[in-house]
Amino acid sequence: MSSEHAPVSHFIRNIVEADLASGKHKSIVTRFPPEPNGYLHVGHAKSICLNFGLAQDYAGRCNLRFDDTNPEKESEEYANSIQEDVRWLGFQWAGEVRWASDYFEALYGYAVELIEKGLAYVCELTPEETREYRGSLNAPGRNSPYRERGVAENRDLFARMRAGEFPDGSRVLRAKIDMASPNINLRDPVIYRIRRAHHIRTGDAWCIYPMYDYTHCISDALEGITHSLCTLEFEDHRPLYDWVLDNISIGCHPQQIEFSRLELQYAVTSKRKLLQLVNEKRVSGWDDPRMPTIQGMRRRGYTPEGIREFARRIGISKSDNVVDMSVLEGCIREDLETRAPRVMAVIQPVKVVLSNFEPGVTSSREAGFHPNHPEFGSREVPISREIWIEADDFAENPPPGWQRLVPGGEVRLRYSYVIRCDEVVKDGDGNIVELRCSLDPNTLGKNPEGRKVKGVIHWLSAEHALPAEIRLYDRLFTVPEPDADKDVDFHQYLNPASLTVVNGWVEAAVRDAAPETRYQFERLGYFCADRREHQPGEKLVFNRAVTLKDSWAKEQG
Ligand code: ATP
Ligand code: MG
């Protein structure tokens, strides 16, 4: 059994524990707030594990809320896949799925309240003028000429914005905060814009949409969120988050806490860039097994337990979080090591003819699916006159230390006999066509007499093996940080060799494996029956999830 490891403490956990201890909160409420504008990636997995994980560990609740304030970019497809991903990772949100759009009426009401308090105004500056008035990091902004409009006029104009009297982009509602603030987010930020766009939930009911910063804090408060966890780029937005909640009559003020984003080496974790890869057909889709999306990782054969362990291991902090791919792969490998049944496959086959094979005399052996899990059961590993071995398990001119097959040398077939290579048969061009070998009949399940045979190789009976399409994946990018330099197009670092498809052979034992069944193919790695194209008993398609360290080369078969 792979056990769930103990939580790792971090500063957010400390805050939660202090708030529970002091009685500030009786229980905690967190939320995961994706925008349904793409598929989730490994960075989101970190956020999901944090938010849902805290709720689990402290007997609280975690909501799933779609931040659906950008109708043009959002779709039902994305929203559905996000729900599927959260559940697949092993989490369940409290109650119904929530949508920021459920709060549009309430959000409108709070905007009217701000207007009535003289804290919001309708502004008619053009986007260019607005930018110019905003100032810069070094220069304060200037007040909009519309800033001192009266309450009644603002109320009227805002109602007419809602009623559709003005064209898109012609007016906005702005919070009246401080055009000289050193924090640009407080320089009278826009809180509503006019946008005639069809919304996936509210259809054409609205032609004005609230801005993210305004929507998010109020949605949190309406849901009674206690700790609103987000990534560091929102740190400078926190004063606005607090300003909005301090200035409306809402009886809840969640605490926003920021942590650093996960960046994974050899990957990009931006929905926009991932969408580009999909649209430009650089990958086969959002769930291409090379993608760092949750759907991609799932299709590749990663496990939810392995991904959760990864999130636990990388921790939560405010410092840079660029993580080596090997940390993720290590978590997956460790999880699959205990979870995946072990069988044999040959991906670069070379034929071996066993010259002294005797039908009815040469026997096959039973082999368990996992050395530590007898309950996984066993199967027969049949042998016949012709077998497949891996091309690179044979060398005519072996390097020093070679323990596999050589002309005249011996090797053990896993779960079977010791064989010796007697003859190498080649075609006219010098390519190896087959190897003629003989087996030692006294070596089934026991050591040969008078000599040591160190090497053990995997193999398959040609007569019994089933053909399979096997997909070998490498990193999608050739450099650790493909999008680090804003002036260099990340496409140029795409790895042209990130996918290799081979026609190999697998044991008959996997014939009826359901899609998404994971195996260790001994000595080759962990593989997963493809979710989309694998058809049990018909067409076998396996994706390599992660390679394996060859841990049993010195063992006896
Ligand atoms: P992207 O830049 O990929 O579009 P996003 O932040 O815009 O990501 P959202 O849908 O808004 O995507 O994200 C939902 C939640 O996931 C947010 O709370 C966000 O902070 C968090 N999140 C997004 N990317 C990461 C990441 N790389 N690491 C940790 N958390 C992340
Ligand atoms: Mg976002």
pTM for the whole structure: 0.95
Which of 47, 270, 481 best tests ligand 1's pocket when mutated (most atoms within 8 Å of CB)? 47
Q: Write the secondary structure of 453-505 as one string of H (helix), E (strand) and C (coil).
A: CCCEECEEECCCCEEEEEEEECCCECCCCCCCCCCCCHHHHECCCCEEEEEEE
192: Cβ contacts below 8 Å, ≥ 6 apart: 111, 158, 161, 172, 173, 208, 209, 210, 211, 214
Judge whether 103-211 and 348-464 match in fold.
no
Read off the tokens for 477. Answer: 């990018």
Please work out whether the CB of residue 199 comes within 6 Å of at least one atom of ligand 1.
no
Domain ranges of the chain: 103-211, 348-464
Which helix (H) or strand (E) segment is 83 a member of? helix 76-88
Q: Which residue, among 128, 120, 50, 119, has the nearest Cα to 86 in the 3D structure?
A: 50
Q: Which residues are catalytic?
A: 35, 261, 271
Nearest residue CA, atom 10 of ligand 1? 34
pLDDT at 555: 43
Question: Looking at the chain, how many residues does it have?
Answer: 557
CA 111 / ligand 1 centre spacing (Å): 27
Contact criterion met (CB below 8 Å) for 192 and 161: yes
288: Cβ contacts below 8 Å, ≥ 6 apart: 296, 299
Question: Taking the alpha carbons of 519, 524, 530, 533 in that order, is the dihedral positive or negative?
Answer: negative
Please work out whether the CB of residue 271 comes within 6 Å of at least one atom of ligand 1.
yes
CA–CA separation, 390 and 406 (whole Å): 13
Helix%, strand%, coil% for the chain, nearest 5: 30, 25, 45
Q: What CATH class has 103-211?
A: alpha beta
Q: How far apart are the first and last CA of the chain?
A: 25
CA–CA separation, 192 and 222 (whole Å): 19
Closest atom, ligand 1, to C-alpha of 233: 20
Closest atom, ligand 1, to C-alpha of 46: 29
CA–CA separation, 67 and 196 (whole Å): 18
Q: Coil, helix or strand for 241?
A: helix
CA–CA separation, 479 and 489 (whole Å): 13
User: Which CATH superfamily, name and number, covers 348-464?
Assistant: Ribosomal Protein L25; Chain P (2.40.240.10)
CA–CA separation, 301 and 58 (whole Å): 31
CA 249 / ligand 1 centre spacing (Å): 29
CA–CA separation, 402 and 409 (whole Å): 11
CA 233 / ligand 1 centre spacing (Å): 10
Q: Which residue, among 230, 233, 224, 234, has the nearest Cα to 254 in the 3D structure?
A: 224
Please work out whether the CB of residue 261 comes within 6 Å of at least one atom of ligand 1.
yes
Instruction: Provide the Cα torsion 286, 291, 293, 297; round to 10°.
Output: 110
Q: Which residue, among 396, 425, 393, 427, has the nearest Cα to 412 in the 3D structure?
A: 393
Per-residue pLDDT of the chain (557 residues; tens, 9 = 90+): 345 688 899 999 999 999 999 999 999 999 999 999 999 999 999 999 999 999 999 999 999 999 999 999 999 999 999 999 999 999 999 999 999 999 999 999 999 999 999 999 999 999 999 999 999 999 999 999 999 999 999 999 999 999 999 999 999 999 999 999 999 999 999 999 999 999 999 999 999 999 999 999 999 999 999 999 999 999 999 999 999 999 999 999 999 999 999 999 999 999 999 999 999 999 999 999 999 999 999 999 999 999 999 999 999 999 988 999 999 999 999 999 999 999 999 999 999 999 999 999 999 999 999 999 999 999 999 999 999 999 999 999 999 999 999 999 999 999 999 999 999 999 999 999 999 999 999 999 899 989 999 999 999 999 999 999 999 999 999 999 999 988 999 999 999 999 999 999 999 999 999 999 999 999 999 999 999 999 999 999 999 999 987 444 444 34
What are all long-range contacts of 128-132, with beta carbons under 8 Å and residues at least 24 apart?
130/172, 130/190
Contact criterion met (CB below 8 Å) for 490 and 268: yes
